[in-house]
């Protein structure tokens, strides 16, 4: 059994957080499971410890802090901007490098309007906290940006369904490669009812909806259906569009060239500008926001040249929308010590009445303790 007392590095981390205008908060260990099942990535969903309440509600042991902190902020109707700090235990099954329960600490920055400054502050604060625990220890910082990837995908003019698939796969190398292979060699939809196929081929949506409705009524399926005939018809049209969509050679080269970009952050904006010019892609607004973050990092005293920008880099949580980053021990097998990113849609999905921009990061205290033991 791991110790339930705070690791030694917690004091140094909390001291850094206290100097960063944060409010120290905590959340219950038992959480409703639905938000985690709906809004986190598959890698986390399959590792959650599940249970049930007496009324049958699905519950879980807290697997991370971001969603609980956001839910508490909404429930308390707290004003923004607000910076929450936390330090406590989380629970995940089958963790590769340690126990199923371990300590996390971090900051969630909710409602700061200056996105570039908030992003830079998250990276700088994570770096500073690690520096306080591991003075002189070389660290490797990797940065990605889902907003840049989304801008590239949109500029390629793919159907909405394909854009959604690619964006959902961001950061998952194997899944992205499989999708690119499908785009390079599309496969026709098989097994369609002949009448359905005919309506789709003719573009007769009205006839397709009527046929689906008639079939549902005849089979009695309509009384228990979760989707209407209109929704089913729309999904069939989307499936057909996805099956016949292919990227031409230039567009496929553009996407694969983008995903291969890996360079120091100090040179990244010029590389992105050259990439967009070479393939004639309109991604200027996304590059502008990217450059603003770099400027904010430099203004915060962060050594921009020491950060690696990797275009294909993402993190395994579905709620990220822009910046993503990780900090690890330097070296090929260096342990991951911190990770975070921007999640501008999450609070609205959790029930906030107003849009609340947000960014945050987490530190893994057991890994930090082990890294400190090596020095």
Q: Would you list the DSSP string of 213-259?
A: HHHHHHHTGGGT-SS-HHHHHHHHHHHHHHHH----HHHHHHHHHHH
* 245 within 8 A of 158, measured Cβ to Cβ: yes
**Euclidean distance between CA atoms 97 and 177, whole angstroms:** 27
* 279 within 8 A of 303, measured Cβ to Cβ: no
Residue ranges for the known binding site are 64-66, 92, 104, 108, 315, 319-320
Note the helical H segments in the chain. Answer: 9-18, 34-39, 42-45, 66-75, 115-133, 146-155, 160-168, 173-184, 194-202, 205-219, 229-244, 249-259, 265-278, 284-299, 346-349, 365-374
Specify burial of residue 89 (Cβ count, 10 A radius: 0-12, 13-18, 19+): middle
Q: Report angle CA 180, 182, 188 to the nearest 5 degrees.
A: 160
Residue ranges for the known binding site for L-histidine are 64-66, 92, 104, 108, 315, 319-320
**Euclidean distance between CA atoms 250 and 50, whole angstroms:** 47
* 157 within 8 A of 283, measured Cβ to Cβ: no
* CB burial readout 114-128, b (16+ within 10 A) else e: ebbbbbbbbbbbbbb
> In this structure, what are the phi and psi dihedrals at residue 303, rounded to the nearest 5 degrees?
-75, 95
**Euclidean distance between CA atoms 362 and 13, whole angstroms:** 11
Residue of 241, 247, 250, 249 lying closest to 182 (CA atoms)? 247
Using only C-alpha atoms, the chain has a radius of gyration, in whole angstroms, of 23
Max Cα–Cα distance, the chain, nearest Å: 73
């Amino acid at each position: 059994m791991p110790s339930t007392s705070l690791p030694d590095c917690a004091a140094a981390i909390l001291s850094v957080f206290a100097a960063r205008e944060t409010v120290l908060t905590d959340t219950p260990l038992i959480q409703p499971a639905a938000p985690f099942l709906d809004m986190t990535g598959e890698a986390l969903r399959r590792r959650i410890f599940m249970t049930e309440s007496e009324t049958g509600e699905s519950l879980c042991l807290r697997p991370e802090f971001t969603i609980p902190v956001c839910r508490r902020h909404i429930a308390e109707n707290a004003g923004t901007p607000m910076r929450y700090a936390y330090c406590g235990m989380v629970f995940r099954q089958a963790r590769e490098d340690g126990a199923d329960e371990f300590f996390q600490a971090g900051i969630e920055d909710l409602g700061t309007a200056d996105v570039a400054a908030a992003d830079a502050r998250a990276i700088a604060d994570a770096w500073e906290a690690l520096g306080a625990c591991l003075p002189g220890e070389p660290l490797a910082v990797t940065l990605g940006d889902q907003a840049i990837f989304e801008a590239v995908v949109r500029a390629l003019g793919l159907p909405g369904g394909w854009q959604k698939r690619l964006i959902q796969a961001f950061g998952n190398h194997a899944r992205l490669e499989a999708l690119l292979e499908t785009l390079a060699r599309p496969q026709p939809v098989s097994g369609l009812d002949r009448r359905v196929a005919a309506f789709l081929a003719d573009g007769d949506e009205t006839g397709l909806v009527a046929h689906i409705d008639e079939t549902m009524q005849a089979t009695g399926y309509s009384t228990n259906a979760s989707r209407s005939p209109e929704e089913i018809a729309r999904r069939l049209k989307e499936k057909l569009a996805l099956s016949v969509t292919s990227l031409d050679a230039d567009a496929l080269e553009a996407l694969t060239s983008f995903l291969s970009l890996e360079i120091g952050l100090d040179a990244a904006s010029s590389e992105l500008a050259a990439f967009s010019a070479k393939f004639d892609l309109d991604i200027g607004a996304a590059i502008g926001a990217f450059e603003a973050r770099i400027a904010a990092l430099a203004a915060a005293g962060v050594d921009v040249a020491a950060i690696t920008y990797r275009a294909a880099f993402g993190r395994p949580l579905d709620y990220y929308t822009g910046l993503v980053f990780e900090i690890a021990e330097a070296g090929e097998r260096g342990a991951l010590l911190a990770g975070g990113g921007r999640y501008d849609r999450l609070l609205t999905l959790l029930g906030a009445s107003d849009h609340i921009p947000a960014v945050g990061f987490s530190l893994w205290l057991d890994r930090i303790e082990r890294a400190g033991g090596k020095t």
